[in-house]
Amino acid sequence: MDYQRIRYENPAPGVARITLARDEVRNAQDRRMIYEIDDALQRVGADNTVKAVIIAADGPHFSSGHDLDDAYDQNNDEFRRVTLWGGFDEPGLGWHMNLEEDVFLGMARRWRDFPKPTLVAVQGACIAGGLMLVWPFDIVIAADDATFSDPVVAFGTNGVEYFAHVWELGHRKAKEFLFTGAALSAEECRRIGMVNHVVPRADLAEFTLKMAQRIATRPIMGLRLAKLSVNQSLDAQGQWTAIQAAFSLHHIGHAQARLLHGLPVDPAGVDVIRREAKQPPSS
């Protein structure tokens, strides 16, 4: 794939880095960016010299979430499916669920099950769909200016499509996170357990690379088995079943918004989210 939204590089032996390179729109994710990330991960998976991969981002902010100018375009069909979901041209509402099964939920599941260790370096704002470029990955390193939020209840839906909130935050904090839409600071997320380390912004890239290099000294079989063991423990707790159930509820919210507003989300939510994005995070 000819990358237009990301950069792929090998910053050290045994390490690959995928960088979101759309900082002019705060790394909003259109479908091209998502498919390019997936293509780059397939490239890493096939490269036996790479044992760890870093996800990073250009600019002051990690990601402002889904690019709403692209995400709901039924006619944008330029990318090859990577899951078995198709039917993007179905009548009614089926096409929308099919699209999100492939582009959002299906991608997040693929990345969560990627068989090599993954690290993500987060700075600035990580909003809504930005969480879907964090939660599927293994180790989260946050700059001290990083904030995390999922304000999409303001759109009339239950949260982002990869509904891992309960596992990442605990059930009570997850409810507060969703009900209020308020951002959490990097340090609060570290205390909860969602973030592994908080470091000064200037040290983010170096700290993350050093950890990836240390991981890359381990044998790939041991790394793979350790990751499988942890992920299968989550599945034994019902994580994947719960995420799928929440995705179904998510599409009840989309259907309700179409009935009331003729749009996939409540348009009043746009102003709410923009206003609240300027408020300081919980610490």
Residue 77 makes CB contacts below 8 A (sequence gap 6+) with 88, 89
Q: What is residue 86's predicted lDDT score, i.e. its pLDDT?
A: 74
Distance, C-alpha 7 to centroid of its chain? 17
Place of tokens 């492939």: 102
Report pLDDT digits (tens) over 69-122. Answer: 776 665 656 777 777 777 777 888 888 898 899 899 999 999 999 999 999 999
**Torsion sign over Cα 86, 90, 92, 96:** positive
Q: What is residue 281's predicted lDDT score, i.e. its pLDDT?
A: 81
Place of tokens 């610490």: 283
Taking Cα atoms as reference points, which of 93, 242, 100 lies closest to residue 161?
Answer: 100
Average pLDDT of the residues in 198-212 = 98
Does 138 score more than 70 pLDDT?
yes
Distance CA(74)–CA(266), nearest Å, equals 19
* Residue 55, φ and ψ in degrees, nearest 5: -105, 125
Instruction: Provide the Cα torsion 24, 139, 111, 46; round to 10°.
Output: 100
- For the chain, give the mean pLDDT: 93
Report pLDDT digits (tens) over 169-203. Answer: 999 999 999 999 999 999 999 999 999 999 999 99
Distance CA(38)–CA(77), nearest Å, equals 16
Q: What is residue 84's predicted lDDT score, i.e. its pLDDT?
A: 75
Place of tokens 């308020």: 182
More confident residue, 282 or 53: 53
| Residue 243 near residue 162, CB atoms below 8 Å | yes
Q: What is residue 73's predicted lDDT score, i.e. its pLDDT?
A: 61
The pTM assigned to this predicted structure is: 0.94
Does 20 score more than 70 pLDDT?
yes
- Calculate what percentage of the chain has a pLDDT beyond 90: 82
* Residue 80, φ and ψ in degrees, nearest 5: -75, 135
The three-state DSSP-derived secondary structure of the chain is CCCCCEEEEEEECCEEEEEECCHHHCCCECHHHHHHHHHHHHHHHCCCCCCEEEEEECCCCCECCECHHHHCCCCCCCCCCCCCCCCCCCCCCHHHHHHHHHHHHHHHHHHHCCCCCEEEEECCEEEHHHHHHCCCCCEEEEECCCEEECCHHHHCCCCCCCCCHHHHHCHHHHHHHHHHCCCEEHHHHHHHCCCCEEECHHHHHHHHHHHHHHHCCCCHHHHHHHHHHHHHHHHHCCHHHHHHHHHHHHHHHHHHHHHHHCCCCCCHHHHHHHHHCCCCCEC
Q: What is residue 27's predicted lDDT score, i.e. its pLDDT?
A: 96
Which range is least confidently modeled, 56-60, 65-69, 184-188? 65-69
Average pLDDT of the residues in 243-262 = 96
